[in-house]
Amino acid sequence: MIGQVQKPLEEILEYLEGKEKIVIVGCGGCATVFQTGGEEQVREMAERLEERGKKVLAAIAPPFKEFTCYAPWSAERLKAHRRQIEECDAILALCCGDGLQVIRGIVEKEFGLQKPIYPGVNPMGHMGGGPDLFEEKCQQCGECELGRTAGICPLTQCPKGILNGPCGGVRPDGKCEVNPDQDCAWVMIYNRLKALGELEKMRRIAGPKDWSKMTRPRRISLAAD
């Protein structure tokens, strides 16, 4: 899921300067898990903005597990608040950048409106873990290496992103040269491959990474041919 933290209120108020009537949109997915845009945070943000003289026309908090970045769900939810969206001066999105841009697309293309939409959240990358501690696990490189690295990603676990064994700076205790509190990714990979009886995979040399698969924006079509 998308790790995230809420922006400082002062930064949000800078975005909303000169805007009186506000619609807030949260997310029942990642923003709920990270406590940046779930029902409670949407309600709290509405209260904080009202205290600072804003008029919150709608505080839209999708239920848990309903992701704002999934356009069909967001379209149905936003349609129920179309009047408030038409009247508002700005929309504040308490969700990741994907969700914000889905909201923008619906408001512009389906409603035919031009409304400023501001982020209330700073996304921090794809993370796994929980319930309290989360860590970046995947950068969606488009060419997954986990099959040969025992399920441990060297692109995210190694600060240098090395694809073929540890660097010369790995410490005697197996810690990272860059961060002495962090285990070396390739020591971890070696130990797990050994436990799995698959150490021969360490001898396979990976070719240069095909970074063209990260060319932005990436698209996937599920439409039938």
**68: confidence class by pLDDT, cuts 50, 70, 90:** very high
Specify the pTM: 0.85
Tally of CA atoms within 13 A in the half-sphere of 119 that contains its CB: 16
N-term to C-term CA, the chain: 30
pLDDT of 215 > 90? The answer is: no
Could you give the domains of the chain?
A: 2-126 (3.40.50.2300), 139-206 (no CATH)
pLDDT of 216 > 90? The answer is: no
**219: confidence class by pLDDT, cuts 50, 70, 90:** confident
Over range 38-63, report the average pLDDT: 97
Peptide bond into 180 cis (omega under 30): no
Structure confidence at residue 11 (pLDDT) = 97
**What is the distance between the alpha carbons of residues 152 and 90, in angstroms, rounded to a whole number?**
43
Structure tokens at 9: 């209120």
Structure confidence at residue 213 (pLDDT) = 83
* 167 vs 225 pLDDT, higher one: 167
Structure confidence at residue 225 (pLDDT) = 63
pLDDT of 56 > 90? The answer is: yes
Over range 51-69, report the average pLDDT: 97
Provide, rounded to the nearest whole percent, the portion of the chain with pLDDT above 90. Answer: 84
**What is the distance between the alpha carbons of residues 174 and 184, in angstroms, rounded to a whole number?**
6
pLDDT digits over 139-190, tens only? 889 999 899 999 999 999 999 999 999 999 999 999 999 999 999 999 999 9
Peptide bond into 123 cis (omega under 30): no
Structure confidence at residue 150 (pLDDT) = 94
Over range 51-65, report the average pLDDT: 97
pLDDT of 224 > 80? The answer is: no
